Amino acid sequence: MNRLATLIALVIVVCAVSAGISSQSSTMLVLATVLMATGVLVHRFVHSAVVANAGTQVSTFRQLLACVVHNLFRFGIGAIVIAWMAVSALWFFGA
């Protein structure tokens, strides 16, 4: 199940990055950074609330969904960091 969740999250991030590249806008990168940071904060809050109710039984679908969201944020943060490094290099070298 973890591999399936990883594959789903990776496909979602690749599609989002492809859509962002096609717009060729630095505003898209700033927006993606803000959305990812907000999503991570919300995910942390929800995860802490779930840990507080750890005695409840969780369905397999919810476990898959939680794994997809976790991997989505992990790959998304990596993609945004790489994009900022590329944009910073382009700005630095004046391209």
* pLDDT per residue as tens, the chain (95 positions): 678 888 888 888 877 777 766 666 667 777 777 877 888 888 777 777 666 566 666 678 877 887 888 888 888 888 888 878 877 777 778 75
Query: How many Å separate Cα 16 from the centre of its chain?
Result: 10
The answer to whether residue 71 is domain-embedded is yes
The answer to whether residue 54 is domain-embedded is no
Range of the domain at 80: 2-49+59-93
Question: Residue 46: its pLDDT value, please?
Answer: 73
| Domain count for the chain | 1
Distance, in Å, from the CA atom of 46 to the CA atom of 56, rounded to the nearest integer, reads 15
The answer to whether residue 79 is domain-embedded is yes
Question: Residue 51: its pLDDT value, please?
Answer: 61
Residue at 75: amino acid letter: F
Question: Residue 20: its pLDDT value, please?
Answer: 67
Global pTM? 0.67
Residue 25's SS3 state is coil
The answer to whether residue 89 is domain-embedded is yes
